[in-house]
Structure 1
Amino acid sequence: MTDLVAPDILIVEDDSLAADLLKFVLERDGYRVAHVSDGRAARRAIETQVPPRLAVIDIDLPYHDGYELIQAIRVQPAWRHLPILMISSQNSERDIARALDEGADDFVVKPFQIEVLKARVRLLLRRGR
């Protein structure tokens, strides 16, 4: 994520198939999308890059998990109010509640329905204006 223009959406996902699907679907809808595949790269982006309009973050990531990334986003002044959509195959009530309590704005369980995911992205982007 080194573009001079910030992407609309940052995807943080280590599963390449899921990341490719998300990127394809969102780019097809006209969004500029950046992808990083682990928590270390995401932390670097949070600390050094202009924030996107939305972050889509998996929970299970190498180096720093999604919960840690939520915390890093919420303390970084430029990123503090960034809408965060968590995606995960962890679908227990406890996992969802923890993500929301940590500061995520929404949560989608994998495997996700594409139209529902896109609707949640649109909703969060509208709220983030």
Structure 2
Amino acid sequence: MIDDSRTMRRIVSSVLTDLGYETVEAGDGQQALDALEVGDEFQLACIDWNMPVMDGLTFVTKVRENRAWRGITLMMVTTESEHGQIVRALAAGAHEYLIKPFTPDALRDKLELLGLLPVEEIA
């Protein structure tokens, strides 16, 4: 989870952990890129839009520019709800978009749409 709000990182990480994911938290896009650059492998990144140092849209763009990271599923999890913002994020390479506030079921539904729920969770 990439978000400058520690509380939001904990909420999303808790939901993901309950769904069987191991999570890593970053307070901004640059911290997340640093984790990718040291070779950590990630299946999914949940990304806030508005963060200091590097915002979520810039993070998405940088991930998509690097061939080694193209397999990471990117989901924006943000308060930005304007249609234009959603279009920009998806055009930049985000796979899905979830608007805060959200319920754990809404996050689970997005993961299911992306085919990212652990097998035992889908059954």
Tell me the TM-score normalised to structure 1 length: 0.83
Separation (CA, whole Å) in 1 of partners of 2:71 and 2:106? 23
Q: Residue 35 of structure 1: SS of its match in structure 2? A: coil
> What does residue 113 of structure 1 align with?
103
Deviates more, 1:36-45 or 1:102-111: 36-45
Separation (CA, whole Å) in 2 of partners of 1:40 and 1:82? 16
Deviation sequence 1:1-57 (CA, Å, 0-9, x none):
xxxxxxxxxx11111111111111111222111111112211212322233111111
Give yes or no for the alignment of 1:33 onto 2:1. Answer: no
Aligned equivalent of 1:54, options 44, 51, 57: 44
Contact 2:5 2:27 in 1 (8 A): yes
Separation (CA, whole Å) in 2 of partners of 1:31 and 1:15? 20
Q: Which runs of 5+ in 2 are unaligned?
A: 118-123
Contact 1:85 1:105 in 2 (8 A): yes
Instruction: Report % sequence identity.
Output: 29
Give yes or no for the alignment of 1:73 onto 2:63. Answer: yes
More strand by share: 1
Q: Note the C-alpha offset of 1:82.
A: 1.3
Deviates more, 1:40-49 or 1:52-61: 40-49
Q: Which runs of 5+ in 1 are unaligned?
A: 1-10
Contact 1:55 1:83 in 2 (8 A): yes
CA change 1:15–1:59 in 2 (3 A) is same
Tell me the TM-score normalised to structure 2 length: 0.87
Q: Note the C-alpha offset of 1:123.
A: 3.0
Separation (CA, whole Å) in 2 of partners of 1:66 and 1:15? 13
Deviates more, 1:118-127 or 1:19-28: 118-127
Q: Residue 9 of structure 2: SS of its match in structure 1? A: helix
Contact 2:43 2:71 in 1 (8 A): no
4+ long deviations beyond 3 Å: none
RMSD: 1.6
